[in-house]
Structure 1
């Protein structure tokens, strides 16, 4: 609502209009809501808020500032009025190559390991990891990036001078030193359930894509994923054990087509990175010695039965579709390479080759 008003009038004009009850009719502000805003005005002290954020090395930015990330404008009327930032990096530049990592607070050891490992891989590839500094997947994501000397951004549901949750005090302090903390809430403000939901939209809009690691069917992480999808950002999910309730939400998201399955940082980078520059290597199994054989000799090898008695050359030639003389030559070549051995008038797989998958 406030964002829609600020698209029509300036913030000082709006505040004075609320204080003097002279709000223009086109702003569509009913009397009840106007009274609520007027009741809160005496408790606002912008100068004190600025002094408080400056005392912790922070600042306040608004749309149009050099540091403002223009992708937040995709939120339209729900775009933050401004952001309080703690840290020395440029939010606009750091957010250009960033990815959100979100998930369950009460995560499993598997979820924490995966989130930390992928975040470390992303940081090593020059990506900035963004999360909410909460327990569980959020904390694992931040720690993974920090562990390899990467930069990470914590989007808070409280003031940037507050520590929530308290158990993450050291982690949040480290993020402020090595990355950025940001919030749309003024210094001193404390979190509540509604503020976490609002925080999620900032995470989704700020980044190039959102990865969900572990989420139940009713999870705040899924709301971030839905926001990202609505904003035409890439939404990705990491599969987990089918027996885990914390995997059900992610699996449902992937199955419905709302997210792309990813397993590592390379696959994430291919989705959200520059075309042609962040391609993931094509997964493949191990290369076996038989993979280098020419087609004709490979057909002869495939014809040799995996039995102790083997088979005569005539039967092998027929199975390989080759003349007997050519098949015999190929068998001797295979013998030189250690694939087969002669057993009387028969040919069989060499002992070492019998246990190799065909």
Structure 2
């Protein structure tokens, strides 16, 4: 298992800022990679969704992963039961490469039933975590895993996601990184897809997406998927891996949009006094259950911190405008 950091040769330029997440060089997000780290340089599509999918969702995940492989993409997912495992297995079955993003390094970060799949993934990709080897998963590490998964992709597809799903945290992170985002049509009345479709509807509100982010797409067939993959390919920045000198590393994290952007704006206005989580409930109104996850991600990004029960913008945090 290898430890790598943003700025190392294995990390392509387009992933430096999402993986750096902090203007402080000493707080760069380390990655522990089991398998082939060179897979990080390749164009990649994330496929995520619920652990309890419908038959429609499983079939969609498998078909989408196979098409992504046929079009030359690495498939990235979280190695969880349901949509994730279906995507990994279909990618391997199609002769492709795949990355599993874990809440802690294998074997601890893999559920018992996924150990065999994890072994197959190591032969055709990698298992990656941002926690040190031997560290057991914690509740917050699953939130961090969702953000990390988005940072390792060049586009994200949400197949099925109920309200409160970790896949929606991944979708929010992807939108804040400026990545193309797509959702899959659901069978009529399926509760397993309500969260994703609600997220798609909310994304039409101008305050919830940064101005330079493409609106998410609704995928209805293979033709639409291939067209969306062409959009992802066109949006790729220079992907040449370089070893960045110390003085050329990213100096600021991108200013988050969406709920996290609204939270940071509120915290900035509050200044040193800070705000309690209760004070911030009004900011997250209409985004059920999203506030704790958003605050956790801001803390992981080095942008906000909690002291004495009150949240504040981190001292020294520098936000880079998307303009």
Task: Report TM bin, short chain.
Answer: 0.5 to 0.7
Per the TM alignment, residue 117 of structure 1 is displaced from its structure 2 partner at its CA by 0.9
Q: Distance in 1 between matches of 2:166 and 2:132?
A: 23
Q: Distance in 2 between matches of 1:68 and 1:136?
A: 29
1:139-170 per-position Cα deviation (integer Å, ceiling 9, x unaligned) = 01101100010000001101134352111111
**Residue 232 of structure 2 corresponds to which residue in structure 1?**
272
Per the TM alignment, residue 254 of structure 1 is displaced from its structure 2 partner at its CA by 2.2
Q: Distance in 2 between matches of 1:80 and 1:192?
A: 20
Q: Residue 80 and residue 112 in structure 1: after superposition, are their counterparts in 2 closer, same or farther (change >3 A)?
A: farther
Q: Distance in 2 between matches of 1:238 and 1:184?
A: 29
**Residue 68 of structure 1 corresponds to which residue in structure 2?**
11
Alignment of 1:158-177 (within 5 A): 158-177=104-123
1:86 pairs with 21, 27, 34, which one? Answer: 34
Alignment of 1:13-162 (within 5 A): 58-70=1-13, 71-74=15-18, 76-77=21-22, 80-94=28-42, 97-162=43-108
Cα RMSD, aligned residues only? 1.8
Structure number with higher helix proportion: 1
Q: Distance in 2 between matches of 1:77 and 1:116?
A: 35
Alignment of 1:198-277 (within 5 A): 198-256=144-202, 257=204, 259-263=216-220, 264=222, 265-274=225-234
Alignment of 1:293-312 (within 5 A): none
TM (normalized to structure 1)? Answer: 0.57
**Residue 7 of structure 1 corresponds to which residue in structure 2?**
none
Per the TM alignment, residue 271 of structure 1 is displaced from its structure 2 partner at its CA by 2.4
Q: Distance in 1 between matches of 2:130 and 2:109?
A: 15
- Return 5+ residue gaps in structure 2 as ranges: 205-214, 236-323
Per the TM alignment, residue 261 of structure 1 is displaced from its structure 2 partner at its CA by 0.7
* Greater length-normalized contact order (CA 8 Å, ≥ 6 residues apart): 2
Per the TM alignment, residue 202 of structure 1 is displaced from its structure 2 partner at its CA by 1.0
TM (normalized to structure 2)? Answer: 0.63
Equivalent residues, number: 216
Secondary structure of the 1:154 match is strand
Secondary structure of the 1:227 match is helix
1:182-234 per-position Cα deviation (integer Å, ceiling 9, x unaligned) = 11111112212210100111111221111101111221100100111111111
**Residue 282 of structure 2 corresponds to which residue in structure 1?**
none
Q: Distance in 2 between matches of 1:84 and 1:164?
A: 14
2:140 pairs with 194, 200, 205, which one? Answer: 194
Q: Distance in 1 between matches of 2:139 and 2:157?
A: 22
Per the TM alignment, residue 89 of structure 1 is displaced from its structure 2 partner at its CA by 4.6
Per the TM alignment, residue 274 of structure 1 is displaced from its structure 2 partner at its CA by 2.6
Q: Residue 134 and residue 269 in structure 1: after superposition, are their counterparts in 2 closer, same or farther (change >3 A)?
A: same
